[in-house]
Amino acid sequence: MALLNILQYPDERLHTVAKPVATFDDALQKLIDDMAETMYEAPGIGLAATQVNHHIRLIVIDVSEERNNLLVLINPQIVEMDGKTTYEEGCLSVPGIYEEVERADHIKVQALDRNGQPYEISTGGLLAICIQHEIDHLDGKVFVEKLSRLKLQRIVQKLKKNQRKTM
């Protein structure tokens, strides 16, 4: 396994819309393992392929306390959404920034597992929020873009300042 480089906002490649996964070959299995390792190492609770510059519809998530419940979602589709909730979100592509974002409170998602087998999850809470955040990545959207323009400008300035400091 190998650690992958995570694209940092405002990298334009984060705005790429990912294509559906069509082949479940060894290269895909390796990418899934590498993404999981990268997410655990970071540490984060979710990572979309977009963030490691692979523009296919693949997400890894683990919201468990024990960090032993890896969830792989391929070609995920939200088929039901209910209610509203807000949560202070962060993102491995936007280090050090945490902001309240509004999302659906409960979702039903259909996806394929790493072997291409279809499954469905009906969930709320942090998992529902995380799945919505990661699917946004596949659609080329980053959570800070849901904020006001002024707030987003401040965040981009802050991120650029931080990047200058780390040489």
Closest contact distance (angstroms) between CB of 136 and Ni ion is: 8
Which residue number, 91 or 112, has a Cβ lying nearer to Ni ion? 91
By the 8 A CB rule, do 121 and 76 touch? no
Q: Where are the beta strands (DSSP E) in the chain?
A: 46-48, 58-61, 71-82, 85-89, 99-103, 106-112, 118-124
Of the candidate spans 25-33, 70-78, 84-92, 99-107, the one that interacts with Ni ion by CB under 5 A turns out to be 84-92
Give the separation between CA 85 and CA 47, rounded to whole angstroms.
21
Respond yes or no: is residue 88 known to be catalytic. no
Indicate the residue among 11 and 24 with the shorter CB distance to Ni ion: 11
Spatial distance between the Cα atoms of 47 and 55, rounded to a whole number of angstroms: 13
Q: Which position's Cβ is nearest Ni ion?
A: 91
91 contributes a contact to Ni ion by CB under 5 A: yes
Provide the annotated active-site residues: 134
> Contact positions toward Ni ion, by CB under 5 A?
91
